[in-house]
Amino acid sequence: MSLAFDHRTLGQRVLFGTGRAAVNIAEEARRVHAGSIMVIAGPSERELAEKVTAGIDVAVHHDDVAEHVPVDTAATAREVAAKHGVDLVISVGGGSTTGLAKAVALTTGLPILAVPTTYAGSEATTVWGLTDNGRKTTGSDDRVLPFTVVYDAELTLSLPVNLSVASG
């Protein structure tokens, strides 16, 4: 008996550099010729998101982020993206932020540049999830995989030490 399988590698660019998030984000936005950018970051990450995206023109900052991505929250984010003619979504934050960006991409096909600040791991998968009336639906779709992930160790320093140790 022989082993046989077909493995497809996810097409994703990863940029890593401590203290380089702002530079890497700006370079990626220019590389893909982004014209209208939506930055998704929860209220607690808003200041950080503004700092790391200061080198680009942001059309809209969206901070209506909730755990488990409620369908109404996703619909609102899609409407905001459409209203501003967005052609790139940048998520700055943890799993909920990345999840909301994925919900936008799922139906719009907009590309995502993910900038994680936690160890959620969602930025490296094609898995999405939406919650409606307490029921979570998940799936997998290539449209939700961020085309680039910008990792910067400095962005994880606000995590409590015990959470960093357990997650890392």
For residue 10, what pLDDT is reported? 78
What domain range is 35 assigned to? Answer: 13-155
**Residue type at 23 in one-letter notation:** V
Residue 141, CA distances (Å) to 10, 105, 129, 146 in order: 11, 10, 11, 11
Number of compact structural domains in the chain: 1
Q: What is the CATH number of the domain that holds 91?
A: 3.40.50.1970
Position 126 in a domain: yes
* Each residue's pLDDT expressed in tens, for the chain with a length of 168 residues: 777 767 677 789 999 999 999 999 999 999 999 999 999 999 999 999 999 999 999 999 999 999 999 999 999 999 999 999 999 999 999 999 999 999 999 999 999 999 999 988 999 999 999 999 999 999 999 999 999 999 999 998 877 777 777 666
> Does 143 reside within a domain?
yes
- Is residue 38 assigned to a domain? yes
In a domain, 6, yes or no: no
Report the distance separating Cα 85 and Cα 77, nearest Å.
12
